Structure 1
Amino acid sequence: MGLGEEDPESSVAPVLALLEQLGRAPEALLPRGYFPLLGSAVLQALRRVAGSLRGGLDCSVSFVSHVVGKVCVHGRQKEILSVLMPQLTELTQSDCIWQRICWRLVESVPDRWMEAVLLGFVQSASGADALSRLLGNLVVKNKKAQFVMTQKLLLLQYGYTTAVLQNVLGYLSLDNQRRALLIKVLQELLETWGSSSAVRHSPVEQQQYISKAILICLSHLKEPEIESCRQELLTNMMAGVKCHLDSSLPQIRRLGMIVAESLSAKLNADGPVLKFQYEDDDETRELKSLLVQAAPGCGVPVPSPPHENEGADAAPPGELKGAEKPLTAAQVVPDEDSDAELDSDDDLVPYDMSEDKELKSTKAPVYIRDCIEVLTGSDDVDKWDATIKALEGLIRKNPAATREVSVELAKILLHVEEKSCIEGFAVLRQKAQVAVLTTDPIPVAQFLTSQFYSLNYSLRQRMDILDVLVLAAQEMSSSKIHGKNKQSNAQKPCIQLLPESDSSKDWRKIVDERIKSKTRRFAKGQSQAEPDSGPNKFNSVAGHFFFPLIQNFDRPLSTFDLLGEDHFVLGRLVHTLAVLMYLAANAVAVTTMGRALLEFVWALRFHTDSYVRQGLLSCISSILLSVPAAHLLEDVAELLVETRCWLADVVEKDPDGDCRGLALQNLLLMENLKKKLESAPS
């Protein structure tokens, strides 16, 4: 076929589509059969070209390049390359003529089709070695191929597998002419990795992709190449570490730690290196494994495990050496060591100490004021430990005494520091704070919310305030048993059934039993929790928790800037407001709270941090679920319409997947509320 002739594939395609719709197309002409058949024909043509070259004739493969390029640009790389790649990989292993044919085959592909062909090759290649034999130095000769391989596949797209990254970067490392591009790629990857704007605006999946590419590049670097750009790599590393550690997402922070550790170990092989503490899970192990999956001679050697019995013959599995028959002490121990062997206590049976309890010489205080004295002035570590362990129980047993000193006790617990290595100190302190707040909610809530925006508090203390407010609100809004507060389950507040011991005293239980005995049931579902025996205590105090927190967020202090570098605390604040809004569903002030929160969200809707944006979208969900729909339409109808437009924009354009999901959920909630109002009687 000449280049000026009509492309037979383009003229046949409409006919094939029509035949396929009519159900009369032969199997060989359907895509699943046609393109593998076309691949076999391409191989046959290339074999004839190879034979002609061996006979001394000049040949051109540009017509074959056009066919392969046209097929790939139509998205049929998998079908045709599944036939071509295995054969070409095998033929190029030891035949330089076939290697030259493959190089010319890809070089002759027009630029408009080059990206599709390269993408098919890097996805179908069995490894970097095979890709290098098939492509040669294409990235050095062809600018389009260089852009695709060094920019588009690595920096502009991120949906490819780790194997594709290893193929691309391994291909760049396998020839001296291409290694300069490998170093350039690493520098550009590190610039992107160290950009604060990229960390804030890029989705987590893309940052994982770039981190993997950096680690694979490191596995291919040689010492002279590292020496030539060490200072630049160190500069980018330090900038990237700061950006990642400032992120409010734990996954982003851990990615920064892993990459920084790897870079530090590679750049300072003989000096001090960075070390971080993070959770070791499957993702962490996969990232670290990329450092050792390198080309031969370039990777980091994996240390072999130490041998326990070096120099000894290996025993068969499941057997112990020398255990064929029992041996006497005289056979094993020399005469001069017999006495020492007799004194050994290895054969003594240990006592069962599983139920033993530690004897405590220090008694816990029995009064709240005694606890205050111990926490503020006692140097007795044992007494201090006993006090912090007993404090929550004392607060809940003595509510009247607690109310007399509630604010003072809340202040002490906010500032108290651990004096000994007591297990679970943070949890014990938090439970005591929650107990104080639920016992005397209004003054303690006023104190805590005022301290959140005060000077000279650490970020940890400010986040502790938010946690305590949320946990106390959860406890106060959940069910109570006979009007008594249940014990604080700080992380999982739940509704419990009435205990059996009190069932005979409860009139509701008696009535339910009578109804049950006279009711015929055909199916028995899951038992339901008993309804609350008293009103929701949080409804009457919700405003004291909520409104002080939503004020002053835009006023920077000398040690605290929510709208600046302390965006992680801002994210926690936004999530806290969302929870408080949701728990105040039946409060009198819920409409006022919803209007204030909607204005707060509107002011921050374009925040650059994804964690903050997730909290803002959660606030929208809480407003839609808590505030009556009629009140929303009466009070904030105009702002609600603008919010809907913003949510639609988030669904389409936000780089964070969680934000897009939350925005879509909010749009569905709005639709449901609209339908509910339309169906309601006027």
Structure 2
Amino acid sequence: MDELLRPASVIRKAKDNSDGFLQELTLRERSNGAETRSKPQNKTPSTPEDALEILKHEPDYDSLVSALTFLSRHESDGSSFPSIKLPSPLSAQLVHALVSEIVPNYWALLIEDAHQPKNSGLRLLLYCLSSITGINAILVRLRALIQEAKSEATAKAKRPDISLNLGILLELLCRVLQGDGWLLEAWRIATSGQDGPARTRPRLQEMVATFGGGRVVSLAAEAEGIARASDSSKNVGDIWPADSAQYTEWLGRNVVKLVLSDLGPDETKFGSDLFAKALRLGHSEGLIKQLLTELVLKSGADPRRFGILLGNLPQTEQRKVLYSVLKLCSNEHLDKLGRCESEDSKPRISAVAGALGGILGSGENGRRHLVEWLSGSSGAGLGEGVGIRRAVTAVIAQNKDDLVMVLEKSLAQYGDQLYIKHSPMLQQEAHAQVLLLAAGYVHRKSPIKLVLLLRSSIWLNAISNRLGAPHQRARFLGMVVGEALSSLVDKGDKRLNFKMEETDEDEGRWYKGLVEVSDEPGPLEPLFSTRVDTPQRKRESQRKPVQRPAPQPPQTGFIIEELSDEEAPEDDDIVPYAKPDSDAEDSDDDATLVTRNKPKAPVYIRDLIKYLRDTDSYDHQKLALATAPTLIRRKAGYGTEVSEHAEELASLLVGLSDRFEMDNFDELRIQGMIALIIAKPEKMGQWFAKTFFDGDYSISQRASILVVLGLSGRELAGFETSDYAAAAAFPSKTLPERVERLYLNNSSTTQPSSTLKPLPPNALDNIATSLTSSFLAPMAATAADAATGPDAILLHPHLLALYLKTLALLVHAAGPSTLALPQMTAELWRLLLGTPVRAQAVGDLAVTRAVLVGFVALLDVNEGRMREVCEELGREVVEAQEWVADVFGGLRGGDEGGEEEGVNVLAAGVLVRLREGVERWRGVLVGELIGFG
């Protein structure tokens, strides 16, 4: 019994220190005359088991660092112990101890120690957890805390430590996953050693399931929501793994690193598995664009790497990725080329064909997908330009069998009656282009094959079905395809010629010219630059309107007699047209100039774009400009037409020139741009601001952009209401006219409901003058010797003056309640006092007036927070007062009612308001200037 009871004693041993206050207490045990310590303190481990014991028994910081150093470096020392990153029972216990015990208790100390250049505790900890075992341990701990937080919420009990621990684990997850080569290193560790495929394959499958399955994103997002809902949410930073877009981008960078490492096919297969999983995270288009840019569309890149990555995917995923690549190439590089009629577009199309050829290589699956894309019922790039169809056809043309297959399938589909009757016309146009391109390649490679095909019943039935189609557009496609293919195989009088005006116009000649197009896969350098010139727009700007001669009737030998009403035969099948009303254009002396087929106003955004691009047609340009403000506002909240084509519309309106000297051309163009900003303010406001600085436009076009920004900003703020807003309202949102009269007073009934007035050329200046007049009115009323406010001047200021006025109006339109007012005030105030602006203001009254208008807007909108302005911008306020005083003293205002007098009065008003603020908050300003603000 005595052997089981061993005496223990506490021995106090004083350490050698200068104070004598710090003493070490050591608990010792006596056993057979020997003394041993009960807890390992400040001990260096020699085995992983020793390290585990140290981690379990609340070590001090030095012991923790020693254990982490051992676990992270023992493998490089040549020891026989397995790495902590390899999955094993012992490594699982070590990682669990680190995540559950060490991280919650020592995180603050580890963060403080992170600034050390090397061997810091945080770096050692991140190294030990940078494995699939470490990530799983963090995710398991997150799930446990999330469940505990949910149960506590159900029980209406709050534990702040749960949210705190969630925040710590989320920050740890961000730090562990940081880096583009994380998955590459994890793959190397999982496949290192002597383990065979039977043990390596499950590790890799676990990594694919963990990182590609969305488990990280879902748990991180749920944990972040709980952590931010607590009182300690201010300690939670940017948790990027909780954002699926950022996480997918990180995964894409890691896949690129895997593919570029050149370690072997197994590594590429691992990257392909991750890529296939990541496609299901909801950002497939962005992920494909990222990999395409890094692996193909970059100088020195090898497209075959992307092809190897694509070849390891399942067939369905291959088709999906390949079709997305075609769409990206079309949208980013080819759609802006228009119809690709000029030779400048040929290198870019050849580059896209070269990229596709490099990706697909000699694989049959990829070519089969391209054949299906060209001839399938889904449409060969429905809604996209012809450039992508030219590029894909150039790739297919490298294999004769695939090319003939595309031609045969396209021809059979082209003449099918159900297809003609029910398929969208946009789809039929795309397939007609593919048919013409493929026929041209087949004619050059194997003419006899095309001759035999056009002598078959398939071709004859196709032409007859097309000519008998109920839709005029379907018949037009039938005629142009028939004439184009017949021109390749038939000679002389045997050529098919319908002698229709439509087939001889520009569009018909363009369609028939597709059989002569020949592209070859070329170098990828034209795709490395993001800027795409539009040769079609340059060509259109050089065109001049040409008066077409009156069409002459063909000499057929027949005599046409005009029958009177009494002599006309009665035929029940013929319904006569109603007689046209009298037309003002009928009075023209030249009857050939009378236009009967007037274009109709566009009802879709795509039609509006088509009209704006037709710079040779006065009617199209006039209709487009007159319809654009109302149509854009009407379509803004219905569907995605405006959002999808907003930038294209804006670029067309900004670059549009008045070739026909239309009335109110500038006003209508500006109203169209204003409608775009009103429709999509967040997107188009940034676009116009960026275009003002980066766009390749003239001074007048940049000035129009500033006018648009200023006027649209005031309309968005509610200062002005455009008549186009009422005109753009749908009828379903208005009362019937008779019922509406019951709710309107007598004065309103005498006025029209909507009166569209053109903008004056000095609209922005008038608004600025109105703003300054309202600013000076109270002071003019109270001052005994005050002069009247400045008159409205028809000024033509420099672009800088217009720019400053626009900024002033936007700040004023934002109003005193905007959250960003302090920042906006500081930036505009410093801009107005900047050296470049004040240098331009010397001797230029227009710029001086613009600077003063800027101060008017700032003082007016900050009227209720002048104390904060003096606290934040003390030196700037004093500097502004001195500058305005110099302006006021330097201007004599001798020209009564002139420009100089107006600037002088405006400077006086600004100076009075500044002095009022300085006198009232003098104490704040003095404290700021001497450093005690």
Structure-2-length-normalised TM-score: 0.29
Higher relative contact order (CA 8 A, sep 6+): 1
Bigger Rg over Cα: 2
